[in-house]
Amino acid sequence: MSRSMSRTATTLLATASLFLVAACGESAAEPGAKAPAAGGDDTIVFAAVPSEESASLQSQYEVIIKLLEQETGKTVEFQDATDYSAVIEGQRAGKIDLAGYGPFSYKIAADSGVPIEPVASLIGAPGEKPGYKSHAWAPAGSDIEGLEDFKGKTICFVDPASTSGYLYPSAGLLEAGIDPQTDIKPVMAGGHDASIISINSGQCEAGFALDEMPDILTESGQLKEGDVKSVWESEMIMGSPLAMNTESLDAETQDAIRTALTEKANVDYLVKAGLCEDAESCVLPDSKWGYVAVTDKDYDGVRKVCETTEAEACNAA
């Protein structure tokens, strides 16, 4: 793999991190030091990154926030994070108690020493396992039919810390004999929705985004059905985790969060508990059914892909 591609990814990730350092006031705790409480004794700071441009991200988590407040007895302060680097550095600095990660950004955070524990990940129905796929997309009328056709093209990625929008696509390109830096012109679109929209508008000739993004954009009217086609899909990727800061949260609060997310944060329980009127109106992130427990070991598949790509971005934080 080209080292220039790895350096580019690392630079982009590090640059993004600087924005949060300024926002948080300090970049990281001293080695061995206990992180300060993010929101104080009575507040849990909860941050998430939208998978698409949306002013309603907090509304997707509204019922989960109510559940957490009920189960912990604390106020939940919700924050829209600018990117995954912001989440990583916010938890490293002790400014964020609970956060939504992508699998890749979780791996970066955990393996770089951020004091976090993955707690739960979303599923679409009872009994399912958490996970999703990355897809390569091209305009419907394009002659691009696979990754081998990407050579020499302008290709959209999502973000250097995106699992389905960067890491797995990079591995796929390498397996197809395409160097993600020297054989294509890589563009970081900044979001899964932005990647698809850029492909459809012609700003990128092809690109990557998670499997359900075209459907989401079609439902919102930003894309017409059939505007883009899938030309590649990855292996199953472990679902995105909610991870809690094990230094900024006391043990009792950690236990309450773990129980709430793994046993009660699902449509069936939320309706029974009166936090939702009915299943149809019970809105969870990405229109999923609820959360199931995950552990750090569940993300070893991401670590394996990091080994395959030898991407410096895997150790950028």
Q: What is the pLDDT of residues 295-314, one digit of tens each?
A: 999 999 999 999 888 877 77
pLDDT tier, 35 (very low <50, low <70, confident <90, very high otherwise): very low
The 3 state secondary structure assigned to 131-174 is EECEEEEEECCCCCCCHHHHCCCEEEECCCCCHHHHHHHHHHHH
pLDDT tier, 258 (very low <50, low <70, confident <90, very high otherwise): very high
Q: What is the pLDDT of residue 82?
A: 79
Alpha helices (runs of H) in 202-241, residue ranges in sequence order: 213-219
**Which of 187, 177, 189 shows the shortest CA–CA distance to 155?**
187
Set out the domains of the chain in order of their start, with CATH numbers.
Answer: 3-129+239-315 (3.40.190.10), 134-235 (3.40.190.10)
User: Dihedrals φ, ψ of 186, to 5°?
Assistant: -80, 140
Residue 269, CB half-sphere, CA atoms under 13 Å: how many? 17
- Determine the average pLDDT of the residues in 6-22: 34
Yes or no: say if 137 and 206 are a contact pair by the CB < 8 Å rule. yes
Taking the CA atoms of residue 79, residue 85, residue 89 and residue 90 in that order, the dihedral angle to the nearest 10 degrees is 0
* pTM confidence score: 0.74
Q: What is the pLDDT of residues 222-256, one digit of tens each?
A: 999 999 999 999 999 999 999 999 999 999 999 99
Q: What is the pLDDT of residues 91-135, one digit of tens each?
A: 999 999 999 998 988 999 999 999 999 999 999 999 999 999 999
